[in-house]
Amino acid sequence: MSSGSNGSSGERGSPRWSVRRGTPSPSDLTGMQAALRLARAGSVREEVPVGAVIVSDGDILAEAHNETVQRRDPTAHAELLALQQALQKVGEDRLPMATLYVTLEPCAQCAGAIVLAKVGRVVFGAYDSRCGMAGSVYDLLRNPRTNHRPEVVGGLMAEECGDLLQRFFLSLR
């Protein structure tokens, strides 16, 4: 869940489903670093620090951070905002060649939007043991009953992404 309304988002835990791991590519590291930059920018605005970047063919299509507080909209998650921007930019309703980088494992809402937009690849940072829909709680992204299953890479820069979330929630106490 990108809004991370409870203080547990970003908890490190092992997912219930297998998530591809391996040596991250330089472009994956660059994408996640950009998403972390956005998450930090959101934190300054008192938003739960989740950032998302969508890249296709080396070009950034969209960047966003959570805006649930600013918009007074619980659905204004980084992934959803970035998907809307990217789809608008390309003038299509699908993103099969795109990679979504996000600092927190997508929630049900965002995982559903990712499937509907047919995003080709999802790379996320911290696991979300309470709301994660890319393997932690359930794996909506790779459910065999859905009409699209993106490639999923989980845990990239997980410690840094999780620490940012933990520091944010500790500062609220």
**Which residues are known catalytic residues?**
79
CA distance 2 to 4: 5
Beta bridge partners of 122: 100, 152
Nearest to 125 by CA among 44, 45, 6, 21: 21
CA distance 68 to 170: 19
Written as six digits, the tokens of 58 are 């080396």
